[in-house]
Chain A
Amino acid sequence: MAVTSMSTPDSALAGPAAATAVGEPMPMAVSSRRRFLTVLRSPLGIGALAALMVVAVFAVFGPVLWGEAARQADLTQLSAKPSADHLLGTDAGGRDVLARVLTATRLSIVTAVLSAALGVFVGVVIGLLPTIAPRRLGRLVNSAIGVALAFPALLLAIVVSITLGVGATSVTLAIGLAMAPSYARLTQTLGASVTGRDFVAAARILGVSRARILVRHVLPNVRDPLIVNASIGAGTALVAATGLSFLGLGVQAPDYDWGRMLNESMGAIYVNPAPSLGLGAAIVFAGVTFALAGEVLARAFGLHRPSGRRRRRKTTGSTAASPVPQVAEDPVLRVRGLRVEAPRGDGWATPVRGVSFDIDRGEIVGIVGESGSGKSLTCMAVASLLEEPLHVTASSVQFDGTELVVRGKVPGRPRSKSLAQQLGTRLAFVFQDPSTSLNPALHVGTQVAEVGLLHGGLSRREARRRAVDRLAAVRLSDPARRARQYPHEFSGGMRQRATIAMGLMGEPALVIADEPTTALDVTVQREVLALLRRVNREHGTAVMFVSHDISLVSSFCTRVLVMYRGAIVESLSTEDLASGRAAHPYTRALVAAVPHMDAVPGTEFATITEDAEFPLDAVREGSV
């Protein structure tokens, strides 16, 4: 693939689930087929497929092979215990229980599958109505689904089944209708999330008909979870149908399914448990099969990520390949050979390839790079925030004089309580999106105070007082009142101030700010940066400022590190950058691509061609 850029901001790579997206995007068409095969070849896939085959074979051939044996009554052996002739014994009519269990597979499974299919069909039709119907009708349907959901499904099934009269058909109908509301709700929720997306809006603007939008745009995007749930639903339907038959509401003589047989055998369970146990085993086996099939489908569609079995990466020890930067006397942060690896497909991607840099005390250093360049991962790794399945190695990461690297690795959490306290009070981290980095359920003041409680050894009241004081320090008006408010009552800029206040609860030597203003408007951006600058001036706190915007970095920082595809390719002062003394071709291209306020109107914008390749070797290391 010659695709070089990813549109996701790389700070979104924070989560382990997202980490697999590092680097080139994976072609979906290829990967989904491969994923399907991979899942089928896994032990779970093989197991589910085998179980499904067994169930299918018995459902198809059961009555053919054992139907005759199941009808033959041996009047000398009524309610017999297991023997060589009758492995599960005989029933009250002297008929072989095993043969009857196997024969009943067809009716039991067919009832389950048909009722699940009916439930899904009715549910999907009703659930899709709100997406295409006029708004009022849609709302009505929605409420109707809500009301139907309020009734317990099994109760609904019993009521319907009694109304329709007993028998296999009515059980199928009853369970199908009882299952419909939950599928309707699922479909409606999935449909609503799809119709809210831009491609549906685009189709509407183009004048595409509602029916076509439904078929081409909505259905294909809600299909996978529905199929998975249908498979799991078949298991539920099996249990429900068995239950109804067991209660005498389902299949009637002379027909029989597992539920009715269970009913018959229960009376003698203390005398002859074998028939009941055999039936139980059959029901459990079929139920588990449907659930397994659902899980396999979910994995095949990529809805679930396999858990357990963690992939471990052997330490290669080849982290020393990076060039050594200029050496500061007593840096607040010294990083040597930092490398981040992430599992991708069958192998490993290296979104950060052995970077080394120093940040001096009181310095404001910018890290600039485009999405996927590894700048966010670098600063999260430095703050010990990256965990499995990401693999973080370095020869040394010294923060404020303390070595964070243990046996060549940067652990995902501090190795000791004192280190946790040091990181908690001396290192502050400001995230990109202040609406997700604050807990929406807690007062802002409580969250700011927490740092003081955890690491500052303050009492609750002292922590609270200091929190209000810190909120005042970040120039929030009326801090005592603001401390009692929830994050949603704050504007974006105010939230970002609150996260900075959180960092100021200790005496931070370093603030790592990962795109702290990207989600904010330019005027608010200016205020937040002014605050960071003031913290820097007043407390001598160093700032590591990560951004994709080279003009912002150059107008705020004193030194700039340029990252490209996981490597620091240039480190230069802002003056050098501004006066066109950048040496690396990538840095030059990046500067040239920024639209200027004094460009000639109507002229073309500078571009970097999409397949451009720049050297990964660093230039001008060792000079400032």
Chain B
Amino acid sequence: MSDLAFENVGVRYGHGPAAHQAVRGVSLHVPSGRTVGLVGESGSGKSTLARAVVGLHEAHTGRILVDGTDVVGARGSAAFVRRTVQLIFQDANSCLNPRMSIGASIEEALAVRGRSTRRDRAHRRGEVAALLEMVELDPARAGDLPMQLSGGQRQRVAIARALAAEPRVLLADEITSALDVSVQGTVLNLLMRVQRDLDLTVLFISHNLAVVRQLCDDVAVMKDGEVVEIGSATEVIDHPEHPYTRELVRAVPRIGTPLFGKGTTL
């Protein structure tokens, strides 16, 4: 069990007068074992917030607590805590090393957790195979290069690699927005299943409100680096209160509902 809490977190790019405040004083709680959606448009700071948890950006104000340990600028044991948080990226093309077999990529993640170094090769192979099976890929493909996989399969390998690190918290940053709709469902179902099986805490970043509504327990809406609305996913999306959330919900295309009804002004 692990929970993730942001307390008044601010992240900025650059220095001095040219600095851009990407995240401004965000406080958000992702309770243990729950899936919280984070929605908002490009530039709203949602990815930056997730990257600040794992240290790809450092927060300049506030605290990011993983199970009560502040991981901002983490060193030593806090860095170890930070590693229980894993990030899955949007672009399945660039998240795997094109020169490494998918098995080797997963094995590397195992090695860092100290699970594979001590034991023999056969055992390591077994663990890689188990992880590939967990993400519904044929273990015989461990020797394949990322090029030989489809986008959806690559994204599943990325999930397997994240799971190899035995995370307690998963950050999923637009993991299906580069995928075709036919493939999207498989990846989302997989995420849902591992979340339940392993009792993971998940921060699910997406711009797709329908997906967030179906997948997440709660949702936070970000705009210009701030959280403007927060609540249970169905509540917020079915009955949005903030004007910005309303606009977001209104803009979602639905099959059979004309985007511009008779009354809309063009």
Given contacts A208-B108, A604-B192, A577 and B41 within 8 Å (CB-CB)? no
CB nearest neighbor in B for A194: B97
Q: Is A328 an interface residue (CB 8 A)?
A: no
With both chains docked as a complex, state the minimum distance between the C-beta of B253 and any C-beta of chain A, in angstroms: 4
- A7 x B255 contact (CB < 8 A): no
Other-chain contact of A604, B41, B83, B181, B189 (Cβ < 8 Å):
B189
**Chain A residues touching B, range:** 35 or more
Interface 0/1 of A20-33, CB less than 8 Å to B: 00000111110000
| CB neighbours of A208 from chain B (8 A) | 108, 112
Other-chain contact of A556, B89, B99, B214, B253 (Cβ < 8 Å):
B253
CB nearest neighbor in B for A2: B150
Q: Is A125 an interface residue (CB 8 A)?
A: no
Other-chain contact of B97, A199, A206, A525, A574 (Cβ < 8 Å):
A199
- B260 x A597 contact (CB < 8 A): no
Per the 8 Å Cβ criterion, residues 75-91 of B in contact with A are: 79, 83, 85-87, 89, 91
- A597 x B266 contact (CB < 8 A): no
| CB neighbours of A526 from chain B (8 A) | 250-251, 259
**Chain B residues touching A, range:** 35 or more
Q: Is B98 an interface residue (CB 8 A)?
A: yes
| CB neighbours of B153 from chain A (8 A) | 3, 610
- A27 x B253 contact (CB < 8 A): no
Q: Is A477 an interface residue (CB 8 A)?
A: no
- A28 x B214 contact (CB < 8 A): no
| CB neighbours of B95 from chain A (8 A) | 198-199, 202
- B253 x A549 contact (CB < 8 A): yes
Interface 0/1 of B237-249, CB less than 8 Å to A: 1000000000110
- B185 x A522 contact (CB < 8 A): no
Chain B binder among A214-222, A256-264, A377-385, A447-455: A214-222
CB nearest neighbor in A for B56: A201
- A610 x B150 contact (CB < 8 A): yes
Q: Is A578 an interface residue (CB 8 A)?
A: yes
CB nearest neighbor in B for A209: B112
With both chains docked as a complex, state the minimum distance between the C-beta of A596 and any C-beta of chain B, in angstroms: 6
Q: Is A534 an interface residue (CB 8 A)?
A: yes
- A607 x B98 contact (CB < 8 A): no
Given contacts A578-B255, A607-B182, A217 and B97 within 8 Å (CB-CB)? yes
- A552 x B253 contact (CB < 8 A): yes
- Expressed in whole angstroms, the Cα–Cα distance for A137 and B257 within the complex equals 58
- A202 x B256 contact (CB < 8 A): no
- A551 x B253 contact (CB < 8 A): yes
Q: Is A371 an interface residue (CB 8 A)?
A: yes
- A550 x B181 contact (CB < 8 A): yes
- Expressed in whole angstroms, the Cα–Cα distance for A620 and B247 within the complex equals 38
- B55 x A550 contact (CB < 8 A): no
With both chains docked as a complex, state the minimum distance between the C-beta of B174 and any C-beta of chain A, in angstroms: 12
Chain B binder among A85-93, A104-112, A285-293, A585-593: A585-593
- B94 x A203 contact (CB < 8 A): no
- Expressed in whole angstroms, the Cα–Cα distance for A311 and B256 within the complex equals 46
Other-chain contact of B147, A28, A533, A575 (Cβ < 8 Å):
A28
- B251 x A554 contact (CB < 8 A): no
- A593 x B182 contact (CB < 8 A): yes
Interface 0/1 of A542-577, CB less than 8 Å to B: 000000111110111000000000000000001101
- Expressed in whole angstroms, the Cα–Cα distance for A594 and B254 within the complex equals 9
Per the 8 Å Cβ criterion, residues 1-25 of A in contact with B are: 1, 3-8, 25
Interface 0/1 of B176-218, CB less than 8 Å to A: 0011111111101100100000000000000111110111000
Other-chain contact of A220, B79, B87, B99, B247 (Cβ < 8 Å):
B99
- A595 x B41 contact (CB < 8 A): no
- B151 x A7 contact (CB < 8 A): yes
Q: Is B109 an interface residue (CB 8 A)?
A: yes
Q: What are 29 A-B pairs at a CB distance below 8 A?
A: A3-B149, A5-B180, A27-B145, A29-B148, A198-B95, A199-B95, A201-B89, A203-B108, A205-B87, A206-B83, A207-B83, A212-B108, A531-B266, A551-B255, A552-B259, A575-B256, A579-B256, A590-B181, A595-B214, A596-B214, A597-B210, A603-B214, A604-B185, A604-B192, A605-B189, A605-B211, A607-B186, A609-B186, A610-B186
* Chain B residues within 8 Å of A, Cβ to Cβ: 41-42, 54-56, 79, 83, 85-87, 89, 91-100, 105, 108-109, 112, 144-145, 147-154, 158, 161, 165, 178-186, 188-189, 192, 207-211, 213-215, 233-234, 237, 247-248, 250-260, 264, 266
A7-B154, A221-B97 given. 7 additional CB < 8 A pairs?
Answer: A7-B152, A8-B93, A202-B158, A205-B55, A206-B161, A549-B181, A604-B189
Q: Which 4 A-B pairs have the closest CB atoms?
A: A578-B256, A7-B151, A605-B185, A607-B185
